[in-house]
Structure 1
Amino acid sequence: MTNTTTAQHLTAIDLLRGRDFPDEPVRSAMVESGPGFHVAQLRGDEQLWDADPADVQETAQEYRAELEGLISALCLRWGEPEVLDLADHLERVAMGMPVRPPLGVLCGQVPRVHAWRAEGRWIAVGLGEGGPGMPVFQLLAAVGRADTAG
């Protein structure tokens, strides 16, 4: 991970924070948006199905380091984050129960997020790691209304 990568991720998060929320769900290759939220893939879809386990481990370490660097940079802006485990939200989605956006989108992709409330928005970052047999990685950022609750 480089400072350039962190700077690029911060720029992407700032752009999301400045965007209006759409009235209807909208999806592009890198961003899913809806009433009250945006979720963006900062880096991802590295699928290592047939890769050597050492390569998978190295990729996982790269992603974790990238997330930690981003968290550190965001802590400098907004202080310590709230760490939110999304397992309960995933369970609610699986049972067909409502989950407030963007948590309903995030819970299917990352197990937890680091989140801040700043300048009228809720901002979170998280890392999705598929796991054994499903080596897929993605670094996500989300922006929601300030009243997005954990």
Structure 2
Amino acid sequence: MTALAHHLATIDLLCARAFPAQRGRSAAVVSGPGFHIAELATSESFWDDEGTGRREAEEQYEAECGGLSALLTGRWGEPQIFSLRSTLIRSMEGEEMPEPWHELSGSVPYLEVWRAEGRWIALGVSQQDDELPFQLLAAVTANDPP
């Protein structure tokens, strides 16, 4: 099974899975009331003096996200592009934000978002800090974006 096929299967599983009453983690999936967030892939360490490893990892994860996005677009049509910047700012100012939007806003600058079968499906690349790895993340939620 290719990486993209595996990612797609994970998203399908999350779309079919019930949401738990309490927040919890199982392997690479964090779930809670109304949401699931899956770490589809995580980069290796890429520190070097030139920063080339970081750039290569970023390009790889953006390309992998683009490939998966194309598959999801084939199913559900064009995604909405959803910036999480205002969500992060509003939450830092004390406004309560629903999950998974609050959690994702701390590390993902924008998401590609589809609405299908009564749920939101979101896809993005996370990079919390220059020294931390990149992650390809998918979220499935019943909670509307803020």
Structures share a fold, TM > 0.5?
yes
In structure 2, how many angstroms separate the alpha carbons of the residues matched to 1:105 and 1:16?
A: 17
Contact 1:127 1:139 in 2 (8 A): yes
In structure 2, how many angstroms separate the alpha carbons of the residues matched to 1:127 and 1:80?
A: 18
2:99 counterpart (98, 101, 107): 101
Q: How well do the aligned residues superpose, as a CA RMSD in angstroms?
A: 1.9
In structure 1, how many angstroms separate the alpha carbons of the residues matched to 2:94 and 2:61?
A: 31
In structure 2, how many angstroms separate the alpha carbons of the residues matched to 1:22 and 1:36?
A: 7
How many aligned positions are there?
Answer: 146
Contact 1:6 1:66 in 2 (8 A): yes
Contact 1:46 1:136 in 2 (8 A): yes
Matched, 1:28 2:26: yes
TM-score, length-normalised on structure 2?
Answer: 0.90
Matched, 1:136 2:102: no
In structure 1, how many angstroms separate the alpha carbons of the residues matched to 2:30 and 2:43?
A: 15
> What does 1:61-140 correspond to in 2, within 5 Å?
61-130=59-128, 133-140=130-137
In structure 2, how many angstroms separate the alpha carbons of the residues matched to 1:56 and 1:101?
A: 29
In structure 2, how many angstroms separate the alpha carbons of the residues matched to 1:88 and 1:47?
A: 30
Stretches of structure 1 lacking an aligned partner (at least 5 in a row): none
- Displacement after TM superposition at 1:130 (Å): 4.3
Contact 1:39 1:143 in 2 (8 A): yes
In structure 2, how many angstroms separate the alpha carbons of the residues matched to 1:51 and 1:114?
A: 32
| Greater than 4 Å deviation, 4+ residue runs | none
Greater Cα shift, 7-16 or 46-55 = 46-55
In structure 2, how many angstroms separate the alpha carbons of the residues matched to 1:14 and 1:94?
A: 33
Identity %: 44
Counterpart of 1:139 in structure 2: which amino acid? L
Stretches of structure 2 lacking an aligned partner (at least 5 in a row): none
In structure 2, how many angstroms separate the alpha carbons of the residues matched to 1:69 and 1:103?
A: 23
2:144 counterpart (123, 126, 148): 148
Counterpart of 1:106 in structure 2: which amino acid? L
In structure 2, how many angstroms separate the alpha carbons of the residues matched to 1:36 and 1:15?
A: 15
In structure 1, how many angstroms separate the alpha carbons of the residues matched to 2:75 and 2:138?
A: 16
CA offset digits 1:10-67 (Å, max 9, x no partner)? 0000011111101111123411111000001000153323465222221111111100
Contact 1:81 1:115 in 2 (8 A): yes
- Displacement after TM superposition at 1:102 (Å): 1.2
